[in-house]
Amino acid sequence: MNLSFLTIRSANRIRLRPILITVAVLSVILCTALGFVSIKLSQHAVAEEIRKTERAVTRLRSENEVLLAAVTRLSSRQHLTSLVAQSKIAANYITADRVARLTPPASDEGDSATRTALNTVPSRSATR
């Protein structure tokens, strides 16, 4: 059998280069499309998370304000006064004879410095 005509030069070779280029281009296009879809999905997922988080934050802020308003009302003078009037809180004014006042610290007239335990010079008898 004469196979001389089947030389490499004349064989109908599979041309890999254009195939590879085509596959590469198609792959790039496919990956880009998939990537685009994936990014879009991620965007939607993130957007949904943002929406939920925003809603939760709004809800928390709202609850916070409701609680702040409640605390303000319950600690208001009007409310406390009414509690005192209903004897739910026992409050008495401090009479003057029950107020103890500390004597203001004495200062040396020479330098106007306040005398404290730290800067008071010990007397001679104390040093002995």
Which positions touch another protein (CB under 8 A)?
Answer: 43-44, 47-48, 50-51, 58-59, 62-63, 65-66, 68-69, 72-73, 75-79, 81, 93-94, 96, 101
Nearer to another protein, 32 or 62 (CB): 62
C-beta separation of 114 from 105 below 8 A:
yes
Nearer to another protein, 77 or 124 (CB): 77
Query: Which DSSP helix (H) or strand (E) runs through 58?
Result: helix 16-74
C-beta separation of 67 from 76 below 8 A:
no
C-beta separation of 107 from 115 below 8 A:
yes
Nearer to another protein, 16 or 94 (CB): 94
Rounded to the nearest whole angstrom, what is the least distance from the CB of residue 98 to another protein in the complex? 11
- Which residue, 80, 59, 81, 61, is CA-closest to 69? 61
Rounded to the nearest whole angstrom, what is the least distance from the CB of residue 93 to another protein in the complex? 7
